[in-house]
Chain A
Amino acid sequence: MKKFLSHFEQRSGFEIALAVFALAYLLVFAGLPLLYNIMLSFQQVDLMEPATLLRPFAGLANYRDIFSRPEVHQVLINTLLFVGLSLTFQVIIGFLLAVLFAQDFPLASFMRGLFLAGWIMPGLVVGVIWKLLFAGDFGVLNHLLMTSGLMHERIFWLSDPGYSLYAVIIANVWLGVPFNMLLLSVGLAAIPGDLYEAAELDGANAFQRFFGITLPMMKATLGAVISLGAIMTMQQFDLIAALTQGGPANSSQVAQYWSWQLSFQTFEVSAGSAVATLMLVLVLIIAVFYVRSTRSERMV
């Protein structure tokens, strides 16, 4: 405690004021809602009395409730697929693009800039655009697949339970690729060029240089990008709201959207809070990985 306080003794009032402001902001707008959410998940919520703070304690009843629901298996599998597939393709495509744009060719930086256009668009707008692309009767995607001869029948991307989740994943991958590319580009640029020259003189071909130099040197950056991407994917909400709203028949339902639906559409606040709390625990675990990989990034 003494050591902790001594940190403050060396600081000026201005520095402390800045820190206090940031901490207060975090506490009010992130800390309290989180605590309140955790509290709700252990309480019996009566919507007739929304203004009370202390409600009957429910123990783990809310958690037992959500795991006993028939859709829970599908939601769990969907969430796993949504996060896993989105991350895998975002990172792989983002990495390939980062490597591509790290090469020296005309308009490389201009084209890299274009890719960022997708990133600055709100998820809701992206969702609407992809809805048009995916549309069954007049969608661009179906038109391309049919005229190129790859498909003979229309796919109802958003209303066919067999496709809806993958449609959302495709749109989410598109949305996340620029972010991955940008962060990985920074990591690539930080690798000194003479390492590649040394490796080339040591007899490494392009393939061996990638696996011998680039990949191991990118380990810390990849760790950070993957954990950050996982957190952001678990927060992806507006895209789903715009595309499928979890349907049809929960075929594209994922945990974060389910939590919102439970709390604010069917008003089962306790169950929604329980799902949100479970997500919070997951995010915290990933955040630990993130902090650890950014720390080792600094060590190199």
Chain B
Amino acid sequence: MNRIEIEHLYKAYGPVEILKDINIAVPEGQFVALIGPSGCGKSTLLRTIAGLEQITGGTLKIDGNVVNKTPPRKRDVAMVFQSYALYPHMNIEKNMSYSLRLKRSAPQVIKDSINSVAQTLGLTHLLERMPRQLSGGQRQRVAMGRAIVRNPKVFLFDEPLSNLDAALRVHMRSEIRKLHNRLGATSVYVTHDQVEAMTMADHVVVLRAGQVEQQGKPINLYDQPANKFVAGFIGSPAMNFIEGRIGADGHSVLFGANHVLDLGRELPVGQNVWLGMRPEHLQLEGNGQILRCRVDNVESTGSMTFIEVQPEGGKDTPMLITHGGKAAVVTGDKVNLFIDTANLHLFDRETEKAI
């Protein structure tokens, strides 16, 4: 059964359409990530689910009931804000119990649920503190606790980790996912960080300019991007793109200074394309077709080496390679790049759709 169903959803501010024809179904217990560049409408979409924004077209269902006009407080959804939005004048216990107190739950019930949630999140010793006395990570945890206490139908997360430092972000990422595994709560998670989306979500929705570009399992988005935008957005470092053309033989692609790669599949002859290659699929040794390159720059992190190369004879087509461990190359070297054509992506130069 679907917890959330979004059908042909539109949202406009006056003549400006922010969201166009959004269709998403979230089964019960699933963790869905909404991802896209700033201004793509992902936060607005989340806020329409919460009811903080009214939709201007289509239907929005929670548990099968249309909630287009239902006010936020009757939707039974909880939200974790980017700013956490903790009530500054209430201590942590009061912050977490606010919704239960509004519902006039029995004092013992409130106490029990606060204690159990506080224990789950490691907040027990902080219950008497005020929000301003807490660190960023602790506030983040309280914001989550406030949502969990309510046991809502849906959890909404609006970039909850973006105010934390890098190390804490990685830690909280796995904390949230583990929590989700334990509670099994239906969650919608907005982020601009594709690593967060890939690692946490069961289902990823990529948005651009108010439209869904592609949605599916994270690994499917990585393996079979539907267009150049998704291909470039998913994966880190980003995919390399080179302009090319399908050769007269109908199964090879020509690019740069007379370079040819045989893709071994039927392709439209003469078609202008973008050739997409992920840095991790370009090898300095191994099997595959060979591309002669010149090394322009080498950056080593110890565990990983980033090598920027230029196909021989080319000028403005730098390509990035990620090489596990240390690499024995220096700037100016000539190297053979081994390319497994099974991992190559082709996109129409005009429509940018995958071929």
Contacts and interface: CB of A to CB of B under 8 A. Distances in A.
B79 A204 contact: no
Contacts of B150: 202
B87 interface: yes
B98 A194 contact: no
Interface in B73-98: 73, 77-79, 81, 83, 85, 87-89, 98
A241 interface: no
A195 B87 contact: yes
Given A203-B73, A203-B99, A204-B102, A197 B87 contact: no
B73 A202 contact: yes
B72 interface: yes
A96 interface: no
Contacts of A219: 89
Interface string A160-194: 00000000000000000000000000000000101
Contact of A198 (B85, B89, B132): B85
Contact of A216 (B50, B85, B89, B146): B89
B83 A201 contact: no
Contact of A208 (B79, B88, B102): B102
A192 B72 contact: no
Contacts of A198: 79, 81, 85, 87, 146
A202 B81 contact: no
A201 B143 CA distance: 13
Contacts, number: 60
Interface in A191-227: 192, 194-195, 197-205, 208, 212-213, 216-217, 219
Contacts of B71: 200
A195 to B, nearest CB: 6
A204 B73 contact: yes
A24 to B, nearest CB: 40
Contacts of B89: 216-217, 219, 300
Interface in B92-123: 98-99, 102-103
Given A216-B89, A217-B89, A300-B88, A200 B83 contact: no
B73 A205 contact: yes
Given A198-B81, A199-B98, A200-B52, A217 B88 contact: yes
Interface in B228-282: none
A219 B88 CA distance: 12
Contacts of B98: 199, 202, 204, 212
A212 B102 CA distance: 10
Given A194-B81, A208-B102, A212-B98, A201 B87 contact: no
A203 B81 contact: no
Interface-centre pick from B71, B79, B103, B150 (highest chain A CB count, 10 A): B79
Interface residues of B, number: 22
Contacts of B77: 201
Given A199-B98, A201-B78, A202-B98, A213 B87 contact: yes
Interface in A43-59: none
For this complex, into which size category does the number of interface residues on chain A fall? 10 to 19
Contacts of B146: 198, 202
B287 to A, nearest CB: 54
A197 to B, nearest CB: 5
B87 A203 contact: no
Interface in B45-77: 50-52, 71-73, 77
B52 A197 contact: yes
Interface string B121-156: 000000000001000000000000010001000000
Given A203-B103, A213-B87, A217-B89, A197 B81 contact: yes
Contacts of A194: 81, 83, 85
B72 A201 contact: yes
Contacts of A205: 73
Contacts of A192: 83, 85
A20 to B, nearest CB: 37
A216 B72 CA distance: 23
B73 A201 contact: yes
Contacts of B78: 201-202
Contacts of B88: 195, 217, 300
Given A216-B89, A217-B88, A203 B83 contact: no
A213 B89 CA distance: 8
A290 to B, nearest CB: 20
A202 B99 contact: yes
Minimum-distance CB pairs A-B, first 6:
A202-B99, A194-B85, A198-B85, A216-B89, A203-B73, A200-B72
Interface of A: 192, 194-195, 197-205, 208, 212-213, 216-217, 219, 300
Given A197-B72, A212-B87, A212-B102, 18 more contacts: A192-B85, A195-B85, A197-B81, A197-B85, A198-B87, A201-B50, A201-B51, A201-B72, A201-B78, A201-B79, A202-B78, A202-B98, A203-B73, A203-B99, A204-B73, A205-B73, A208-B102, A216-B89
23 contacts: A192-B83, A194-B81, A195-B85, A195-B88, A197-B52, A197-B72, A197-B79, A198-B79, A198-B81, A198-B85, A199-B98, A200-B52, A200-B73, A201-B78, A202-B98, A202-B150, A203-B73, A203-B103, A204-B98, A204-B102, A205-B73, A217-B88, A219-B89
Interface of B: 50-52, 71-73, 77-79, 81, 83, 85, 87-89, 98-99, 102-103, 132, 146, 150
